[in-house]
């Protein structure tokens, strides 16, 4: 579906997904500034929670990729935070979840795809990386290319489909029973499903990078 254009900056159209992407970016930037401006050697309060989150992501990445995976921790942490906030912001009345827009999820999946292949080239070298597309047999090249493309598409569509489908279902049921069903459904699809889809997208990002490195 074509995203709704809210306003223009000169001739540049600002759509719903773009506006709320900017809002999320601003919230993340401001939060990071506030949480890191007075770091202590012995973490307490918000700093402790922040370090627990970073260590959790680092454990996930290093556990799957190995010690060399530490370099991907900032990327995976960024993906987890952005996708999580994008999924959950849809619960706020009048807000729009950027992950309801296919352009957003394709961009995220494409970013993971590019980073994975660049890392593979840096690790293996260009020719060994290129050779991998012709394995185990030369004629497998078109199939391997199709597999790479389908990986990006499935990664993007899985998140987009679940978030977009959930928002449609909530809207339909709200029209049918506006005073009975919205609250529990909003809690389920907006919060719980948002968290689950964040975990799935993040874990798949790690796995896809791992596959390309190996």
Selection from 139, 145, 159 nearest residue 203 by Cα: 159
**Contact (CB, 8 A) for 150 and 113:** no
Please list the alpha-helical segments (H only) found in 37-140.
46-65, 73-88, 102-124, 126-131
pTM of the model: 0.87
Structure confidence by residue, pLDDT tens digits, 43-86 = 777 777 788 888 888 888 988 888 888 899 999 999 999 999 99
How high is the pLDDT of residue 184?
A: 65
What three-state secondary structure class fits 71?
helix
Structure confidence by residue, pLDDT tens digits, 123-177 = 889 998 888 888 877 888 889 899 899 999 999 999 998 888 877 776 676 676 6
What three-state secondary structure class fits 44?
coil
Sorted by where each begins, the domain ranges of the chain are 5-213
Q: What percent of the chain has pLDDT over 70?
A: 90
* Average pLDDT over every residue of 20-33: 91
What three-state secondary structure class fits 9?
strand
Selection from 6, 201, 178 nearest residue 87 by Cα: 201
**Residue predicted with more confidence, 165 or 27:** 27
């Amino acid at each position: 579906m074509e995203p709704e254009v809210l306003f223009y900056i000169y001739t540049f159209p600002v759509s719903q997904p773009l506006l709320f992407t900017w809002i999320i970016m601003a919230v993340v930037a401001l939060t990071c500034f506030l949480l890191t401006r007075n770091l202590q050697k012995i973490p307490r309060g918000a700093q402790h929670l922040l370090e627990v989150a970073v260590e959790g992501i680092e454990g996930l990445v290093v556990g799957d990729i190995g010690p060399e995976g530490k370099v991907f921790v900032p990327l995976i942490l960024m993906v987890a935070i952005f996708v999580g906030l994008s999924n959950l912001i849809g619960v706020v009345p009048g807000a729009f979840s950027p992950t309801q827009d296919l352009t957003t999820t394709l961009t995220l999946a494409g970013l993971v795809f590019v980073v994975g292949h660049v890392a593979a080239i840096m690790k293996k070298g260009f020719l060994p990386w290129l050779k991998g597309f012709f394995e185990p047999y030369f004629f497998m090249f078109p199939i391997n290319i199709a597999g790479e493309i389908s990986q990006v598409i499935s990664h993007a569509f899985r998140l987009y489909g679940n978030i977009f489908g959930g928002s449609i279902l909530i809207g339909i049921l709200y029209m049918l029973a506006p005073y009975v069903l919205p609250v529990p459904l909003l809690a389920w699809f907006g919060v719980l499903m948002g968290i689950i889809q964040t975990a799935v997208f993040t874990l798949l990002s790690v796995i896809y990078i791992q596959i390309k490195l190996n």
